[in-house]
Amino acid sequence: MTSLANLCSKAKTYLYKNYGENPGTMLVHTGVLGWILSAIAQVTAVLINDKISKKEKWFLIPQETADAFINIASFYIVTSSFKNVASKLVSTGKLSTKNIRNFIKEKGIDPAKYIGNINSNIGNDFPEIKKEYKNFKNGVDVVASTVGSIISCNIITPVLRNQYASKTQKDIMSKNKTQEETRFSKTPALSMDAYQKMASVKYSSGNLKI
Amino acid sequence: MAISSIKSFITNTSLYKRAAKTARHVEQKALNVLPDKVCINEKFIKSMDYLGKNFSSDKQRLALGVTALVTQPFIDAHNKSVDEKTRKVSVARTIAKIIAGTFTGFFIRYGCIKAIKAFSQIPAKGVPKYKSLFTPKGITDNTTEAFEQYRNAMGTVVALGVMVFTNFLIDVPLTKFLTNMFIKHQEEDKK
């Protein structure tokens, strides 16, 4: 059986090998991990909270899970797409520095065939300029990951979440109306005021990003 | 072992090969559409270099928080599918969440990255064992860029673990306090 020390050692080596030269990838992956841990914490908090009734939990847990799914999926899809497109632009020379472009020309390679070719990879093909290429690529990756995460967390997610939350609110209101009319339920249905109160005191009501 | 054999099985199927070929074809088409850009501005190239080396997750969290303060309250304030009261509460709560989340998110990441730096020294005579607690095996140079990035990554992972708890211990009460404060201000302004 693997000991804890062995596991820690493997984790350290994994982080060093995978993120040592890829800060952009690290930002995307740790961002996703942050969202996942945050979502697990929110759902656990609802699950273990004695003040929330079983009936309310049945409503809150799927809502929290759906929220988490929207957050994680939009963050990963948008951020990693931005990062991957930026990486591809730099590795194929579509986005480049003057020195890198001049070096390729000096090597006698036809830019028309090489630049923008999906099979081109400046980092592997020209080890002589690897340092300059890597520095530029890491910077572009980091900027792309950050711009992607800003668009995802600060624009796409709030819009999607608002739509989802307003739909949930409307569903509750129409359900309440039906219950009042038919008087099927002996216990009072969840009122709008109660819903708002619950939403303002519950641990999340959307993205409490860590 | 099992994962790598499953991966190898999937990547060897004809369906996967065909899908990968189509994806590459689409990627190539997209690349052909995009214009070439050669950066000649030295300042821009240097700033890319600087950001690649120094822009770690704590700074990214700060950037996310600052931009969130501009966009998210605006989105909530213009959410026409809820009534005015709900809209105001949601704006107050969003601002409170951003302030609390950015405050803890930035400082905990920053602190953990600093701490990992202190505890990832190269094992040597005179260096206590605990100071190389986070140093991966076989590392002899702690001045390389790859090692600096490793420290950022490890610091971020540790920070995420810490924040699972501070999320409830600091973020939640601080968000609640700030939300109530903002709502009180809104009501006073109304009067």
Q: pLDDT tens string for chain B (191 positions)?
A: 567 788 888 888 999 899 989 988 988 998 888 888 999 899 999 999 999 999 999 999 999 999 999 999 999 899 887 788 878 888 888 899 899 989 999 999 999 999 999 999 998 888 898 999 999 988 888 888 889 999 999 999 999 999 988 888 888 888 889 988 988 888 887 77
| Residue numbers of B between 2 and 61 with CB closer than 8 Å to A | 24, 27-28, 31-32, 34-40, 45, 47-53, 55-57, 60
Taking residues A90-100, what's their average pLDDT? 94
* Min distance B101 CA to chain A CA atoms (Å): 6
* Min distance A160 CA to chain B CA atoms (Å): 11
Q: List, as one string, the DSSP characters of B161-176.
A: HHHHHHIIIIIHHHHH
Q: Is the minimum CB–CB distance between B176 and chain A shorter than 8 Å? A: yes
Q: What is the mean pLDDT of chain B?
A: 89
In this prediction, residue B180 carries a pLDDT of: 87
Nearest CA in chain A to B47: A139
* Min distance B134 CA to chain A CA atoms (Å): 7
pLDDT tier for residue A193 given thresholds of 50, 70 and 90: low
Find chain A residues with C-beta within 8 A of B146's C-beta: 16, 20-21
- Tokens matching residue B118: 């202190």
In this prediction, residue A201 carries a pLDDT of: 46
Query: What angle separates helix B14-33 from helix B2-11, to the nearest 10 degrees?
Result: 70
User: For B40, which DSSP code?
Assistant: -
Inter-chain residue contact B134 with A117, CB threshold 8 Å: no
Inter-chain residue contact B37 with A45, CB threshold 8 Å: no
DSSP lists the bridge partners of residue A97 as B39
Query: What residues contact residue B44 under an 8 Å CB cut-off, 6+ apart?
Result: none
pLDDT tier for residue A126 given thresholds of 50, 70 and 90: very high
Find chain A residues with C-beta within 8 A of B27's C-beta: 88, 118
C-alpha–C-alpha distance, residues A187 and B96, integer Å: 34
pLDDT digits (tens, 9 = 90+) for B135-187: 998 888 888 888 999 999 999 999 999 998 888 888 888 888 998 898 888 88
Which of B93, B135, B171 is facing A200, going by the closest CB pair? B93
In this prediction, residue A205 carries a pLDDT of: 43
Q: How many residues does chain A have?
A: 210
DSSP lists the bridge partners of residue A96 as B38
* Min distance A158 CA to chain B CA atoms (Å): 7
B81 — phi, psi (to 5°)?
A: -85, 0
In this prediction, residue A191 carries a pLDDT of: 55
Rounded to two decimals, the ipTM of the complex is: 0.83
Query: What residues contact residue B163 under an 8 Å CB cut-off, 6+ apart?
Result: A34, A37, A38, A210, B104, B105, B108
Which of A15, A201, A210 is facing B164, going by the closest CB pair? A210
The answer to whether A38 and B165 are in contact (CB under 8 A) is no
Inter-chain residue contact A208 with B152, CB threshold 8 Å: no
C-alpha–C-alpha distance, residues A178 and A189, integer Å: 10
C-alpha–C-alpha distance, residues A92 and A122, integer Å: 6
Q: Which amino acid is at B181?
A: M
Find chain A residues with C-beta within 8 A of B94's C-beta: 158
Can you give the pTM of this predicted structure?
A: 0.80
C-alpha–C-alpha distance, residues A162 and B94, integer Å: 12
DSSP lists the bridge partners of residue A85 as none
Contact pairs from chain A to chain B, CB under 8 Å: 202
Residue A93 zone, left/alpha/beta (φ > 0; ψ -120 to 50; rest): left
Long-range contacts of A126-133 (CB under 8 A, 24+ apart): A128/A103, A129/A99, A129/A100, A129/A103, A132/A97, A132/A99, A132/A100, A133/A90, A133/A100
- Would you tell me how many other CB atoms lie within 10 Å of the CB of residue B152? 29
* Min distance A154 CA to chain B CA atoms (Å): 5
Inter-chain residue contact B36 with A116, CB threshold 8 Å: yes
SS3 B135: coil
B37 — phi, psi (to 5°)?
A: -140, 115
C-alpha–C-alpha distance, residues A75 and A37, integer Å: 14
Q: How is chain B split among helix, strand and coil, in percent rounded to 5?
A: 80, 0, 20
C-alpha–C-alpha distance, residues A181 and B111, integer Å: 57
pLDDT of A16 > 50? The answer is yes
Nearest CA in chain B to A37: B164
- Would you tell me how many other CB atoms lie within 10 Å of the CB of residue B27? 15
pLDDT tier for residue A149 given thresholds of 50, 70 and 90: very high
Taking residues A164-170, what's their average pLDDT? 75
SS3 A97: strand
Which of A94, A159, A196 is facing B89, going by the closest CB pair? A196
Which of B60, B82, B94 is facing A169, going by the closest CB pair? B82
